Amino acid sequence: MKTPAERFQYILNNFDGTQEEFGRTIRKSRQLIGAYAAGKRTIPEATALVIELVHGYSKEWLLSGVGMEKAVVLNNPIKALNQKDSDRRLIQKINAKDGIVEVVEDLMQLSPNDLETIHRAIKSLIKPTNQ
């Protein structure tokens, strides 16, 4: 498998369900799933991370073909579980708020300097809580 689209199709072929059902597991439309599989759309890093967290396929393997197909569990299984739970909670929060996935995908395309500028702007908008 030479391309991300071919690896994505492999994941779909190993999923016990339809493209629509797979899309629901990662909160993407059937049309977008089809576009990823056909190579018509680039798979965003955030989506690859969700696939890793939900289905266990390595983000690096999916996007670049490098490394192992399945994500490797860290040496300390308790730490690995805690990290995965933390990652899942974060992904659930991101998916629960309309528009945030698109914002994250846009942020991932910015340069480090632009990202820092945006981060400072966001921090300036957040009101401190009374302590």
Per-residue pLDDT for the chain (131 aa), expressed as one digit of tens each?
Answer: 899 999 999 999 999 899 999 999 999 999 999 999 999 999 999 999 899 888 889 999 999 999 889 876 544 555 555 666 677 777 778 888 888 888 888 888 888 888 889 888 888 888 776 55
Tally of CB atoms within 10 A around 28: 21
CB 61 within 8 A of CB 68: yes
